[in-house]
């Protein structure tokens, strides 16, 4: 056999994850059951705000098969839900109790909980629990005057600020000042698998287990241990297949704590599976912000200063991420442009709606929309083209790395590498932009409502600081990569497997990637903020290189060669100068390194190694998106005729998967731009609690997308040069579609709100007619 | 609640059960028969993750009661390869990266199998229309459509 070393990094290999998933052999949390388990059902508040006067459980408790019913007083020793990153003094009093105590503050808030022998019975019993609630006035808009959260506490829980430079001076001396009032609707990740959790207590070993973990199992273990007064050594989290994460799945919610406490106290496994209606009322929502934004520009359109004031609708309680979205909104808004001075002020306000937290591209989907609307408005005011106003402001390739006195996720902003203008030029060429303008103009002249728009953006990914991995080759040559990462369906096993196989020289199909199991590895960063590939894959690369060195060293002795004479490919060690000659399987090398093997000599037993990767700063991938839309004046529907996504990934481990991340993110972004919105009535009653009300794009609404994936600016901040991909597809979709819609309507400043539902589009058409003095 | 007898054939196996009349077919298939490949995504008939084939027709198993399947022949995703080589559509889903988290995949596979068994020559417009009845939150659909188009050809080739 001839051995040659072929690159595995950079190949569009099919995924390691797929075979069980297509066979229906995946294991999601609802597929897991334990003997003698109880089923949990949560009784939820039917009112958005009220004083809890009483709870009657007698009738429910009498139902056959009901084991126990708890209210807040039954778990009085359990504190409110903690913040992931630890104590935040100012927000402590606003944290959500696991079960409502004196007040309810949103429809769907857990008030009581039923444990029964059967899920159907648990649901019957929950319906029999009677709540006595005195309804109180609600706050449903974050820009309404703040009210009272609890005696002595305002619903304005925090004000976040960032900024630099002389903003007042810049505005005073500006050639022009452009101001916009923009609103971003409330939408969220809505994974197709609802949440689920199973608590299990092993009294023999005194170990408490949470099955159904996702996203950040290790960090959640620390939070849960803190809340439950346990050591992390006796608390373990187990991740199964996860049916979509998108940032909202895998945060700690009241139900996670309830199943754990119940498993401990009732001494039986406790299983909870959320239904869709609960999900749409209770799982984290996101995005809702109103921005009052102004730019001071010079006569050439240069951004002298931006003033960014915004109202952040947090819903009823802060959640585990605390202030992060509001802070990211401040730090990332300037995007790829130079900016002389900047001030951002975010009013972080609580409303009587479902609590909010991070959803894929948090703070970026919102700010890309706001900033790019502002750029279009500047172009309009100064009579410049939309391309030119961006060109004059873009940060240049030669200026990299480019630091700014702002922070995102408590990390100082420093763009690592990029050629923003170069990628813009590639997209303009791909779109044949000038010819496109002409053809759209001609179509508009014939009465069609068509237009093109675009948005530039910067992503952030790979927040460190540190992640580790362990690689082990067993005596059959199977490679196990032990990580503290998490898989939310993005292809984590494949990407990590490719990096390990490439560097070690293993057979990719023989790599098994472990993730989401706290009992196997002490630390882990999980899967959030597009960091898994950057951080975990780089740690795996370090470990795999050590294993390779050890394998070569051992094999050299056995093959009577120097390590430098040997290479490894497809799990075989062979001589570089004699690829047809004798070879040795990695499994055999591992055998030679067993503790009892004489061949081992003084070497440490096992063909295995740990690897750590440390990163000082995040990495910043970038891109742009272009849309061509057509509006139907009769229905207000927006049809997308063409869509281009250009993105520089630095270095793609698996281009097929990167493209998959982009396409999937785009579809979600499209939802937030046109279709998806969590609406509430004036009493705070949620109106979007089924898939008939909360409309997600189907195949019919999702156009084909052209993807221009480039590797022009590898990151200098990690040896593999990689940047994240997870949030690139979604981040600027609302911005690009809004720009195209305004172009179609030939009126800048008309789009003030997302999503652009048919009703809103029709309202804009009407406004346009009245502005132009035409009969409606 | 009292239970009533229920008999059907699921993935080639005869089942002889007793279930509550209010129990949905998806719960019977998952919990009473142990085939957990069929997923409940919304339980109100919109997302299609629970799509299965009952007596040759694609149905949403969350919208049927178990007892409505009395005497039926039922196929779920587990029937497609039965531990052997992948079904042509399963192969096409893997090769075209038509799945990410895989939660909606069994529903899409059974929807597509049902459609293509009924009309192997389905054109793209009809496919787009029919596949729009299921939701996917990860892939953006483009690769699902590609996989079904390719899978249709592979299914034909495997019949030749």
Stretch A32-47: mean pLDDT: 98
* Residues B43, B23 share a domain: yes
CB A480 within 8 A of CB A638: no
Q: Helix, strand, or coil here: A578?
A: strand
Phi and psi at residue A50, in whole multiples of 5°?
-175, 165
* B16 plus B74 within the same structural domain: yes
Pick B41's closest partner by Cβ from A192, A246, A491: A192
**What does the pLDDT average to over B70-85?**
95
How far is Cα A675 from Cα A695, in angstroms, rounded to an integer? 6
Cβ distance of B102 and A18 shorter than 8 Å:
yes
Averaged pLDDT for residues A558-583 = 95
pLDDT of A410: 83
Question: Residue B8: how many CB atoms within 10 A of its CB?
Answer: 23
Locate A528 and state its tokens.
């959030």
Phi-psi region at B45: left, alpha or beta (left = phi > 0; alpha = psi -120 to 50): left
Same domain, B56 and B103: no
**CA–CA separation, A246 vs A215, rounded Å?**
9
With contact defined as beta carbons under 8 Å apart, do A3 and A569 qualify?
A: yes
Q: Are residues B75 and B8 in the same domain?
A: yes
Asked if residues B49 and B40 have their Cβ atoms less than 8 Å apart, the reply is yes
Residues in chain A with CB shorter than 8 Å from the CB of B40 are 30
Tell whether B126 lies on the interface with A, counting CB pairs under 8 A: no
Is residue B37's pLDDT more than 90? yes
ipTM of the complex: 0.98
CA distance B32 to chain A (A): 12
User: Where residue A409 falls among pLDDT bands split at 50, 70, 90?
Assistant: confident
- Give how many domains chain B has, as a whole number: 2
Question: Could you tell me which of B61, B157, B56, B132 has the C-alpha nearest to residue A695?
Answer: B132
Low-confidence winner among A85-99, A430-444, A666-680 (lowest mean pLDDT): A85-99
Sorted by sequence, the CB contacts under 8 Å of residue A37 that are 6+ apart come out as: A198, A268, A269, A270, A271
Domain end, chosen from B79, B96, B131, is at B79
Quickly list DSSP for A275-319: -HHHHHHHS-BB--EEEEEEEEE-TT--EEEEEEEEEEE--SS--
Query: In this structure, what is the dihedral angle of CA atoms A178, A396, A532, A508, given to the nearest 10 degrees?
Result: 140
pLDDT for A182-199, tens place per residue? Answer: 999 999 999 999 999 999
**DSSP 8-state code for residue A574:** E
Q: Does B38 touch chain A (CB under 8 A)?
A: yes
Q: Are A664 and B93 within 8 A, CB to CB?
A: no
Fold classification of A18-24+464-614 (topology level): Aldehyde Oxidoreductase; domain 4 (3.30.365)
Last residue of a domain, one of B79, B104, B126: B79
**Residues B115, B138 within the same domain:** yes
* 3 state DSSP class of A336: coil
Question: Are B151 and B94 part of one and the same domain?
Answer: yes
**Residue B160 clears pLDDT 70, i.e. is over it:** no
Paired tokens of A448: 């069609």
Q: Which CATH architecture has domain A289-462+617-771?
A: 2-Layer Sandwich (3.30)
Q: Does residue B19 sit in the same domain as residue B39?
A: yes
Q: How far is CA A764 from CA A441, A554, A744, A760, B37, in A?
A: 20, 73, 12, 6, 46
Query: Is the CB of residue A371 less than 8 Å from the CB of residue A364?
Result: no
**Which of A38-42, A738-742, A767-771 shows the lowest mean pLDDT across its residues?**
A767-771
* CATH assignment at residue B100: 1.10.150.120
How confident is the model at residue A3, as a pLDDT?
Answer: 65
Contacts of A699 in chain B (CB under 8 A): 128, 131-132, 141, 144-145
| pLDDT surpasses 50 at A259 | yes
Strand pairing of A341-349 and A303-313? parallel
List the strands of the sheet with A289-297, edge to edge.
Answer: A156-164, A341-349, A303-313, A289-297, A176-184, A753-754
CB contact, 8 Å: B134 with chain A? Answer: yes
Closest CA to A30 of B76, B1, B49, B56: B49
* Residue A194 DSSP label: P
* pLDDT given for residue A209 in this prediction: 98
User: Residues A664, B140: contact at Cβ < 8 Å?
Assistant: yes
Do both B117 and B137 map to the same domain? yes
The tokens describing A602, both together, are 């003084």
CA–CA separation, A288 and A517 (whole Å): 34
> What are the Cα distances from residue A119, in Å, to A62, A432, B65?
16, 58, 16
pLDDT band at residue A774 under the 50/70/90 scheme: low
Q: Give yes or no for a contact between A524 and A613, defined as CB atoms under 8 angstroms apart.
A: no
Which residues lie across from A104 on neighbouring strands? A50
Write the CA distances from A600 to A219, A505, A568, A660, B61, integer angstroms.
Answer: 38, 21, 19, 45, 58
Q: What is the pLDDT of residue A775?
A: 55
Cβ-based neighbours of A546, under 8 Å, separated by 6 or more: A471, A609, A610, A611
Q: What are phi and psi of A279, to 5 degrees?
A: -60, -45
Chain A residue closest in CA terms to B79: A23
The stretch A558-569 carries a mean pLDDT of 96
CATH value at residue B38? 3.10.20.30
Which DSSP string corresponds to A653-700?
S-HHHHHHHHHHHHHHHHIIIII----B-TT--BS--STTTS----TT
| pLDDT-derived band at A776, boundaries 50, 70, 90 | very low
CA–CA separation, B14 vs A455, rounded Å? 58
Three-state SS for B26?
A: helix
The DSSP-derived string for B134-154 is: S--SSS-SHHHHHHHHHHHHH
Pick the CATH number of A32-137+208-242+249-272 from 3.40.50.300, 3.90.1170.50, 3.40.50.720, 3.90.1150.10: 3.90.1170.50
Tell me, yes or no, if the two domains A18-24+464-614 and A289-462+617-771 fold the same way. Answer: yes
pTM: 0.97
Q: What is the mean pLDDT of residues A133-146?
A: 98
Residues in B 39-58 with any Cβ partner in A closer than 8 A: 39-44, 46-47, 49
* B151 & B103 share domain: yes
Q: How far is CA B107 from CA A10, A24, A392, A691, B99, in A?
A: 31, 10, 50, 16, 12
Please name which of B15, B20, B21, B19 lies closest in space to residue B33, comparing C-alpha atoms: B15
Domain that holds residue B27: 4-79
User: How close is the nearest chain B Cα to the Cα of A497, in Å?
Assistant: 16
**In angstroms, rounded to a whole number, what is the distance separating the alpha carbons of residues A497 and A613?**
17
d(CA A35, CA A496): 35
CA atoms of A309 and A624, how far apart (whole Å):
25
Chain A CB contacts of B21 below 8 Å: none
Structure tokens at A144: 């309404």
Say how far apart CA A84 and CA A319 lie, in whole Å. 9
Tokens of A581: 């000659």
Nearest chain A alpha carbon to B35:
A24
Whole-angstrom distance, CA of residue A549 vs CA of residue A465: 26
For A743-748, what is the mean pLDDT?
Answer: 94
CA-based nearest distance A193→chain B, Å: 6
> Residues of A with CB below 8 A from B30's CB?
30-31
Boundary residue ending a domain (B42, B57, B79): B79
Percent of chain A with pLDDT over 90: 93
Query: How far apart are the C-alpha atoms of B45 and B42, rounded to whole Å?
Result: 7
What per-residue confidence (pLDDT) applies to A2? Answer: 54
User: What are A693-724's pLDDT values in tens digits?
Assistant: 999 999 999 999 999 999 999 999 999 999 99
Q: Which of A245, A691, A697 comes nearest B42 by C-beta?
A: A691
Of B43, B95, B145, the CB nearest to A699: B145
User: What is the three-class DSSP state of B83?
Assistant: coil
Q: Check residue B83 and give its pLDDT.
A: 81
Average per-residue pLDDT for chain A:
96
Q: Smallest CA–CA separation between A19 and chain B, in Å?
A: 8
Percent helix, strand, coil in chain A (nearest 5)? 30, 30, 40
Q: Are A475 and A551 a contacting pair, CB within 8 Å? A: no
What are the boundaries of each domain within chain A? 18-24+464-614, 32-137+208-242+249-272, 289-462+617-771
- Residue B9 shares a structural domain with residue B44: yes
What is the C-alpha to C-alpha distance for residues A548 and A542, in angstroms, rounded to an integer? 10
- Sheet containing strand A466-473, strands side by side: A511-514, A479-483, A466-473, A607-614
Place of tokens 């093109």: A452
Give me the residues paired with residue B5 across strands. B18
Q: Which residues in chain B touch residue A729, judged by CB atoms under 8 angstroms apart?
A: 140
């Amino acid at each position: 056999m001839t051995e040659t070393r072929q690159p595995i990094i950079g190949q569009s290999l099919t995924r390691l994850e797929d075979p069980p998933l297509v066979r229906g052999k995946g294991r999601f949390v609802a597929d897991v059951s334990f003997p003698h388990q109880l089923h949990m059902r949560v009784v939820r508040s039917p009112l958005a705000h009220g004083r809890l006067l009483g709870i009657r459980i007698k009738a429910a408790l009498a139902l056959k098969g009901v084991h126990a019913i708890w209210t807040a007083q039954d778990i009085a020793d359990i504190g409110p839900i903690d913040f992931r990153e630890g104590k935040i003094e100012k927000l402590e009093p606003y944290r959500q109790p696991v079960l409502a105590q004196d007040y309810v503050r949103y429809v769907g808030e857990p008030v009581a909980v039923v444990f029964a022998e059967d899920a159907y019975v648990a649901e019957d019993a929950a319906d029999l629990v009677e709540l006595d609630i005195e309804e109180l006035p609600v706050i449903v808009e974050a820009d309404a005057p703040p009210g009272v959260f609890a005696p002595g506490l305002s619903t304005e829980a925090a004000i976040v600020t960032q900024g630099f430079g002389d903003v007042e001076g810049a505005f005073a001396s500006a050639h022009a000042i452009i101001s916009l009032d923009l609103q971003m609707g409330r939408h969220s990740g809505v994974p197709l698998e609802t949440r689920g959790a199973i608590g299990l207590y092993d009294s023999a070993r005194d170990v408490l287990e949470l099955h159904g973990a996702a996203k950040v199992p290790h960090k959640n273990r620390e939070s849960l241990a803190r809340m439950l007064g346990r050591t992390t050594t006796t608390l373990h989290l187990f991740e199964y297949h996860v049916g979509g994460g998108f940032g909202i799945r895998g945060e700690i919610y009241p139900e996670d704590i309830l199943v754990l406490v119940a498993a401990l106290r009732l001494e039986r496994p406790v299983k909870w599976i959320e239904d869709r209606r609960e999900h749409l009322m209770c799982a984290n929502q996101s995005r809702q912000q109103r921005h009052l934004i102004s730019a001071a520009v010079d006569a050439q359109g240069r951004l002298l200063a931006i003033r960014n004031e915004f109202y952040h609708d947090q819903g009823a309680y802060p959640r585990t991420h605390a202030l992060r979205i509001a802070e990211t909104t401040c730090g990332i808004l300037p995007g790829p442009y130079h900016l002389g001075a900047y001030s951002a002020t975010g009013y972080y306000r609580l409303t009587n709606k479902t609590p909010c937290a991070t959803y894929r591209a948090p703070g970026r989907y919102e700010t890309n929309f706001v900033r790019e609307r502002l750029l279009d408005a500047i172009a309009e005011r100064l009579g410049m083209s939309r391309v030119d106003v961006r060109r004059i402001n873009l940060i240049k390739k030669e200026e990299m790395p480019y630091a700014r006195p702002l922070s995102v996720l408590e990390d100082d902003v420093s763009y690592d590498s990029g050629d923003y203008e170069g990628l813009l030029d590639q997209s303009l060429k791909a779109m044949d932009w000038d010819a496109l303008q002409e053809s759209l103009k001609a179509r508009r002249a014939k009465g069609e409502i068509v237009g093109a728009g675009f948005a530039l953006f910067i992503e952030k990914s790979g927040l460190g600081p540190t992640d580790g991995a362990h690689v082990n080759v067993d005596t059959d040559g199977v490679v196990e990569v032990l990580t503290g990462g998490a898989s939310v369906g993005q292809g984590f096993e494949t990407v990590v497997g490719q990096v390990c196989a490439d560097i070690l020289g293993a057979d990719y199909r023989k790599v098994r990637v472990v993730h989401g199991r706290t009992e196997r590895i002490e630390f882990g960063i999980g899967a959030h903020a597009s960091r898994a590939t950057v951080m975990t894959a780089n740690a795996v690369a370090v470990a795999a290189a050590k294993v390779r060195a050890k394998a070569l060293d051992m094999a050299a002795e056995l093959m009577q060669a120097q390590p430098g004479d040997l290479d490894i490919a497809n799990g075989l060690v062979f001589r570089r100068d004699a690829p047809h000659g004798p070879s040795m399987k990695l499994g055999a090398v591992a055998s030679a390194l067993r503790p009892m093997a004489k061949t081992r000599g003084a070497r440490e037993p096992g063909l295995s190694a740990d690897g750590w990767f440390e990163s000082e700063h995040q990495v910043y991938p970038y891109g742009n998106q272009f849309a061509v839309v057509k509006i139907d004046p009769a229905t207000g529907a927006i049809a997308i005729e063409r869509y281009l996504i250009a993105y520089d990934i630095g270095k793609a481990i698996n281009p097929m998967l990167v493209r998959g991340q982009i396409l999937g993110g785009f579809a979600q972004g499209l939802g937030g731009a046109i279709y998806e919105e969590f609406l509430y009535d004036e009493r705070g009653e949620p109106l979007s609690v089924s898939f008939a009300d909360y409309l997600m794009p189907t195949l019919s609404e999702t156009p084909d997308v052209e993807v221009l994936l480039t590797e022009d600016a590898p990151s200098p901040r990690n040896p593999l040069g990689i940047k994240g991909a997870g949030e690139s597809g979604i981040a600027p979709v609302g911005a690009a579609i809004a720009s195209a819609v305004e172009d179609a309507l030939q009126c800048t400043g008309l789009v003030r709100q997302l999503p652009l539902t048919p009703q809103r589009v029709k309202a804009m058409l009407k406004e346009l007619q009245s502005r132009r003095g035409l009969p409606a | 609640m009292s239970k009533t007898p229920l008999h059907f054939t699921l993935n080639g196996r005869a089942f002889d059960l007793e279930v509550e009349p209010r129990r949905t077919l998806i719960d019977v298939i998952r919990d009473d028969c142990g085939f957990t490949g069929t997923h409940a995504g919304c339980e109100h008939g919109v997302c299609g993750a629970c799509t299965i084939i009952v007596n040759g027709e694609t149905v949403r198993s969350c919208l049927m009661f178990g007892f409505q399947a009395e005497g039926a022949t039922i196929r779920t995703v587990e029937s497609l390869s039965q531990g052997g080589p992948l079904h042509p559509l399963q192969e096409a889903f893997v090769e075209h990266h038509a799945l990410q988290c895989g939660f909606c995949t069994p529903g899409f596979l059974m929807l597509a199998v049902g459609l293509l068994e009924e009309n192997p020559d389905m054109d793209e417009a009809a496919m787009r229309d029919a596949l729009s009845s299921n939701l996917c939150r990860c892939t953006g659909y483009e690769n699902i459509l590609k996989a079904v188009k390719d899978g249709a050809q592979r299914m034909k080739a495997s019949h030749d």
